[in-house]
Chains A and B, each alone.
Chain A
Amino acid sequence: MTEEELLQSAAKLGEDAVSGLDEQRVARAVLERLASEPVATPRRVGSTVRWLAGVAAVAAAVLLLVKPPTPPPGAASPASLSVLHELDDLSASELQLLLESMPASAAAPAHPDPAPLDELDTKSLERLLRSLEG
């Protein structure tokens, strides 16, 4: 067999199988199958991510509801501001005495101010000291 004959024989291989094939029918069958079974997507990964995002959103909502909003640093509320620098050097017992000497409401006005210590004479001071010693 010459080379030319060999090539011609090879070119004719499969002609019988192709001649019996209905391309239109095959194409229809492929399309129908595709329509009935959609192409599989990486569904598990996508659904897991969506599920996690949902959980995170719920957690964030719960945190927002449960945790009171914290003010930004440096933004103290007026009620929490310290205005009395003269208290800084007082001890707890002195502060307690100071607090007790402050009237709690307008019903007990602070105007009748008792004399400070330096206005008391020696006898008064001695009496005061004795009364403090019990």
Chain B
Amino acid sequence: MRFLGLLTLAALGGALPLRAQDSMLPEPLRAERLRQQIELRFGERLKEELGLSEEQAARLRVSLAGIAARRRVMEGDERRLRQALAAQLRPGVAANSDSVAKLVDALTSHRVAFAQTFRDEMRELSGILNPVQRGQYLLLRDRLMQRAQELQQARNQGLAPPRRPRP
């Protein structure tokens, strides 16, 4: 009897649409799964649009993953610097001028270094992609980044996330 119950549950679970099952997952797990799907789809798009071979696609992925890891570290550093600056500039508390000056310098240098990673990225990719492919990559990546920024901005402004029709 218990076996029959379990079997029914399993059958019902299988019958639920995948998206409905995903929506039942905890937020972090669901977000992680969606990130993986976006990464996968982006990889497929790159492969198709740039006409990459398997070997090229694998090399590109490894190279981009290295750059992404570097940027994640830098983003973490910048977050800490911004928090330190915000702490210095708390209302009602006298800021230490020296500390603020150092933090502002550090943040500025950091932003320049972050921008530099885009040049490094293109330099690295020149060993894998030809100039046309690099141009295609740049456009695809920009489009994705722009869309991500729009979603973040909508959230910060308290708007509903902008829906965009699939191109």
Contact = CB atoms under 8 A, between A and B. Distances in A.
Contacts of A90: 31, 148, 151-152
Contacts, number: 135
A113 B61 CA distance: 25
A82 to B, nearest CB: 6
Interface residues of B, number: 50
Interface string A3-43: 00000000000000000000000000000000000000000
A132 B34 contact: no
Contact of B48 (A81, A87, A101, A105): A105
Of A78, A100, A112, A133, most buried by chain B (CB within 10 Å of CB) is A78
Of B67, B75, B150, most buried by chain A (CB within 10 Å of CB) is B150
A134 to B, nearest CB: 10
A103 interface: yes
A94 B160 contact: no
A113 B143 contact: yes
Interface in B114-162: 140, 143-155, 159-162
B87 interface: no
B64 interface: yes
A92 B31 contact: yes
A102 B141 CA distance: 12
A61 interface: no
Interface string B41-60: 11111001100000001100
Interface in A110-125: 110-114, 116-117
Contacts of A81: 61-62, 64-65
Contacts of A113: 143, 167
Interface of A: 78-79, 81-106, 108-114, 116-117, 128-129, 132-133
B32 to A, nearest CB: 9
Given A83-B68, A85-B71, A111-B167, 10 more contacts: A85-B68, A91-B31, A94-B151, A96-B34, A97-B161, A98-B148, A99-B37, A106-B45, A113-B143, A114-B165
Contact of A95 (B35, B64, B153, B163): B35
Contact of B65 (A83, A93, A101): A83
Contact of A106 (B48, B72, B159): B48
A102 B166 contact: yes
Contact of B143 (A94, A104, A110, A133): A110
A84 B144 contact: yes
B68 A82 contact: yes
B167 A108 contact: yes
27 contacts: A78-B57, A78-B62, A79-B40, A79-B61, A82-B68, A83-B61, A83-B64, A86-B148, A91-B31, A93-B161, A94-B152, A97-B162, A98-B151, A99-B38, A100-B163, A101-B165, A102-B45, A103-B45, A103-B166, A105-B44, A109-B49, A110-B45, A110-B167, A111-B167, A112-B167, A114-B164, A133-B160
